[in-house]
Amino acid sequence: MRTFTTGDFDFALPPELIAQHPAPERSASRLLDGTHTSPIDRVFRDLPALLQPGDLLVFNDTQVVKARLFGEKPTGGKLELLVERVLEGGEVVAHMKVSKKPPVGTVMRMAGGWEATLLGRWPLPDGPLFHLRFSQDPYEVMARHGHVPLPPYITHADEAEDERRYQTVFARHPGAVAAPTASLHFDEPVLAALEARGIERAAVTLHVGAGTFQPVKSENIAEHHMHSERYRVPETTQAAIDACRARGGKVVAVGTTTVRTLESWAKTGQAVGDTDIFITPGFEFQVVDRMVTNFHLPRSTLMMMISAFAGYERVMGLYQHAIAARYRFFSYGDAMLLEKKVSHEANCGRLPPEGLTRNSAEPALR
What tens digit of pLDDT does each residue of 161-192 get? 999 999 999 999 999 999 999 999 999 999 99
Pairwise pLDDT comparison (23 vs 354), residue with the higher score: 23
Q: What is the pLDDT of residues 291-330, one digit of tens each?
A: 999 999 999 999 999 999 999 999 999 999 999 999 999 9
Say if 198 falls within a structural domain.
yes
Q: Are 86 and 136 in contact (CB under 8 A)?
A: no
Average pLDDT over residues 339-344: 74
Q: Evaluate whether residue 366 is within a structural domain.
A: no
Residues 57 and 118 in one domain: no
Query: Is the separation of the CB atoms in 352 and 342 below 8 Å?
Result: yes
The verdict on 137 and 282 lying in the same domain is no
Residue 331 contacts residue 180 (beta carbons within 8 Å)? no
Identify whether residues 60 and 77 lie together within a single domain: no
Say what the pLDDT of residue 351 is.
29
- 58 and 86 within one domain: no
Q: Coil, helix or strand for 67?
A: coil
One domain, residues 21 and 60: yes
Q: What is the CATH number of the domain that holds 314?
A: 3.40.1780.10
Residue-number span of the structural domain to which 192 is assigned: 6-64+162-347
| Helix, strand, coil content of the chain in percent (nearest 5) | 30, 25, 45
Same domain? 251 vs 321: yes
pLDDT at 342: 73
Average pLDDT across the chain, whole number: 92
pLDDT tens per residue across span 98-137:
999 999 999 999 999 999 999 999 988 888 899 999 999 9
Q: What percent of the chain has pLDDT over 90?
A: 88
Residue 304 and residue 183 share a domain: yes
Do 187 and 104 lie in one domain? The reply is: no
pLDDT-derived band at 345, boundaries 50, 70, 90: very low
Judge if 138 and 240 occupy the same domain: no
Instruction: Report yes or no on 36 lying in a domain.
Output: yes
Q: What is the pLDDT of residue 366?
A: 25
State how many domains the chain has.
2
Radius of gyration, CA atoms only, the chain: 21
Confidence of residue 361 (pLDDT cuts 50, 70, 90): very low
**One domain for residues 190 and 308:** yes
Domain boundary among 85, 117, 145: 145
In a shared domain, residues 45 and 96: no
Q: How high is the pLDDT of residue 218?
A: 94
For 266-288, write each residue's pLDDT tens digit: 999 999 999 999 999 999 999 99
How many CB atoms neighbour CB 124 within 10 A? 9
Q: Report cis status (omega within 30 of 0) of the bond before 48.
A: no
Give the C-alpha separation, 56 to 236, whole Å. Answer: 13
Asked if 183 and 238 sit in the same domain, the reply is: yes
CATH number for the domain including 95?
A: 2.40.10
pLDDT at residue 357, as a whole number: 29
